[in-house]
Amino acid sequence: MVILGAGPAGLVLGNLLHASGVDCVVLERATRVQVQARSRAGFLAANTVRILDRHGLAEGLRRNGREHATCEFRSEDGRFRLDYGSLGRRERHTVYPQHELVTDLLTQYLEAGGRVRFETAAVAVHGADGPRPSVTVREADGRPGRWQARYVAGCDGRHGAARRSLPPGTVRRHQHDHGVSWLGLLAEAPPSLDAVGYAVHSRGFAGHMARTPEVTRYYLQCERDGSPEAWSEDRIWDELALRMRVEDYGPLRRGRIVHRSLVGLESDVIEPLRHGALFLAGDAASLISPSAAKGANLAVLEAEILARALIDDLRHGSAEGLDRYSAQCLAHIWRAQDFSQWMVQLLHGVPGSAGGSVFHDSLRRSRLESLRVSRSCQDWFAENYVGV
Ligand code: APR
């Protein structure tokens, strides 16, 4: 079993397979330091925590993660808070920085005797529709190499070798550009709210998400082709203050901006997720907008579904799970895509314009008002916001 990529999908899959005695190796193009340092999301759904708990992979997040169960929405029509932890299925998020989760998963896998080949870039998957698929790689010293396996799991992201190796005409690709870009910011500053903050403003969206007691993630809707470096720290904090209406709701706790990146809100789904002996999971299977922080949660869910199916096949001779894998994961993917799309429209005007059309803006305001006053709308929101 060859797994491409040491992100959440690849490492959860590797841990589960190794624990079941399935011989597997993870091929990762980056170094261990790079893999462990990559700052990404950190908003784990209750189901994700249950999956990790079930397999003994949740010690770090249980020790250092912090529960989150409240959102605060701010707009031209005022402010309201939603305690989603007491709505819908009464589930909460656990905030735990993803680089810490990846470090935990990697450490546990290696300490259990799992194999990772760092600085080994997969170039292509060959013969996936035959009995002996193989992966050609570029080793750390640049030499070419080849790995053979019964199955290959493509957990190497949207631009990885697994997707590139899918023969043309064998998959349908659904791409959607939401027409919105965010400037993703990491500030060395304590959180300014005790909730996830969503600020809707005619100048554009602003978001606030605590990461740790000392670090806060902010988002600023920006021009599609904007340059993160064009934003001075003063301009960033002044714009966040404007859009989060600090005049009405209190100041933001400022600090040094330690990381910035431009995020285009896009969706990109591959169907089916299986091509013979090659299976896609995580971002390799589907890219989702960060509006509801579902990416890593889908990756963990798909990794568990794939692990169970592979173990049933390799250890018990039952291929039923593998045959069902794609349809089962796509049902979760499309539900998450639907909710993320709903969130994008709740938080922004018409894509591609800061203020949007009057019609769409009125829809947006009405949707936000329904969320403020309707219990059934709140239950639906809570179930989808925390669920995967
Ligand atoms: N060969 C080997 N490794 C590769 C290759 C390749 N050709 N291309 C990419 N990789 C590695 C990357 O270096 C990375 O470590 O694959 C890994 C993919 O990890 P992620 O991008 O984290 O993807 P995934 O595990 O699917 O997690 C998806 O987690 O990163 C967050 O929120 C983000 O939605 C995303 C979610």
Q: How does DSSP classify residue 229?
A: G
Coil, helix or strand at residue 193: coil
Q: Distance from the CA of 246 to the center of ligand 1, in angstroms?
A: 37
Indicate whether residue 299 lines ligand 1 (CB < 6 A).
yes
Whole-Å CA distances, 72 to 11, 97, 126, 244, 307: 33, 21, 49, 11, 37
% of the chain residues with pLDDT over 70: 98
Run of H or E including 198: strand 196-199
Question: 356 falls in which pLDDT band (50, 70, 90)?
Answer: low
Ligand 1 pocket check for 101: Cβ under 6 Å: no
What are phi and psi for residue 166, nearest 5 degrees? -70, 120
Q: What is the pLDDT of residue 224?
A: 87
- Whether 54 and 167 map to the same domain: the answer is yes
In this structure, the answer to whether residues 148 and 216 fall within a common structural domain is no
Per-residue pLDDT at 171 exceeds 80: yes
Same domain, 201 and 241: yes
The model's pTM is 0.95
pLDDT of 40 reads 77
Q: Return the amino acid letter for 340.
A: S
The answer to whether position 33 is within a domain reads: yes
Note whether 2 and 28 are within 8 A (CB).
no
Give the active site residue among 294, 325, 332, 348. 294
* Distance between CA atoms of residues 311 and 313, nearest Å: 5
Per-position DSSP letters for 287-315, written without gaps between them: E--GGGT-HHHHHHHHHHHHHHHHHHHHH
187-235 residue pLDDT tens: 999 999 999 999 999 899 999 999 889 999 999 999 888 889 999 999 9
Q: Where residue 197 sits, what CATH number does that domain have?
A: 3.30.9.10
What is the domain count for the chain? 2
Say yes or no: 53 and 120 in one domain.
yes
**pLDDT confidence band for 42 (50 / 70 / 90):** confident
Which residue in 53, 99, 44 sits closest to 298, CA to CA? 44
C-beta atoms surrounding 248 within 10 Å: 9
Evaluate: CB of 157 within 6 angstroms of ligand 1: yes
Are 159 and 54 in a shared domain? yes
Q: Looking at the structure, do residues 132 and 48 belong to the same domain, yes or no?
A: yes
Residue 287 clears pLDDT 70, i.e. is over it:
yes
Give the residue-averaged pLDDT of 86-109: 95
pLDDT digits (tens, 9 = 90+) for 324-346: 999 999 999 999 999 999 999 99
Q: Which residue has the higher pLDDT, 351 or 29?
A: 29
- Asked if residue 82 is part of any domain, the answer here is no
Place of tokens 């997040």: 61
Q: What is the pLDDT of residue 292?
A: 81
In order of 115, 300, 342, 348, the CA distances from 23 in angstroms are: 9, 20, 41, 47
Asked if 28 and 110 sit in the same domain, the reply is: yes
My answer on whether 26 and 137 are in the same domain is yes
- The C-alpha atoms of residue 183 and residue 140 are separated, in whole angstroms, by 33
**pLDDT one-digit tens code per residue, 117-160:** 999 999 999 999 988 899 999 998 999 999 999 999 999 999 99
Ligand 1 proximity of 29 Cβ (cutoff 6 Å): yes
- Of the pLDDT bands very low, low, confident and very high (cuts 50, 70, 90), residue 351 is low
- Residue identifier of the C-alpha nearest atom 7 of ligand 1: 122
Instruction: Specify if 323 maps to a domain.
Output: yes
Establish how many alpha carbons lie within 13 A of residue 36's alpha carbon, considering only the half-sphere containing its beta carbon.
9
CATH number reported for the structural domain that contains residue 310 in this entry: 3.50.50.60
Residue 29's pLDDT band, with cuts at 50, 70 and 90, is: very high
Report the percent of the chain where pLDDT is more than 90: 87
- Would you say residue 276 lies in a domain? yes
Question: Would the pLDDT of 350 be above 60?
Answer: no
User: How many A from CA of 76 to the centre of ligand 1?
Assistant: 38
Of 84, 109, 198, 218, the active-site residue reads: 198
CB 198 within 8 A of CB 73: yes
In a domain, 249, yes or no: yes
With 70 as the cut, is the pLDDT of residue 349 above it?
no
Same domain, 229 and 323: no
3-state secondary structure (DSSP) of residue 82: strand
Contacts 24+ apart (CB under 8 A), 320-327: 322/274, 322/279, 325/273, 325/274, 325/279, 326/271, 326/272, 326/273, 326/274, 327/272
Residue 75: inside a domain, yes or no? no
* Statement: residue 274 has pLDDT above 60: yes
Shortest-distance Cα residue to atom 8 of ligand 1? 160
99 CB near ligand 1 (under 6 Å): no
pLDDT in tens, 236-261: 999 999 999 999 999 999 999 999 99
Asked whether residue 290 carries a pLDDT value surpassing 90, the answer given is no
290 assigned to active site: yes
Q: Could you list the residue range(s) of the whole structural domain that residue 107 is in?
A: 2-69+93-175+266-343
Q: How large is the angle between the packed helices 98-111 and 8-19, nearest 10 degrees?
A: 30
Whether 219 sits among the annotated catalytic residues: the reply is: no
Q: State whether 271 and 286 are in the same domain.
A: yes
In a domain, 131, yes or no: yes
Q: Do residues 59 and 102 both lie within one domain?
A: yes
What is the pLDDT averaged over residues 83-104?
95
How confident is residue 291, by pLDDT bands cut at 50, 70 and 90? confident
Is the CB of 9 inside a 6 Å radius of any atom of ligand 1?
A: yes
Residue-wise pLDDT for 66-86, tens only, equals: 999 999 999 999 999 999 999
Domain for residue 135, yes or no? Answer: yes
Smallest CA-to-CA distance from 147 within 28, 235, 12, 248 is with 28
Work out which ligand 1 atom sits closest to the CA atom of 102: 22
Identify whether 198 is a catalytic site residue: yes
Same structural domain, 293 and 331: yes
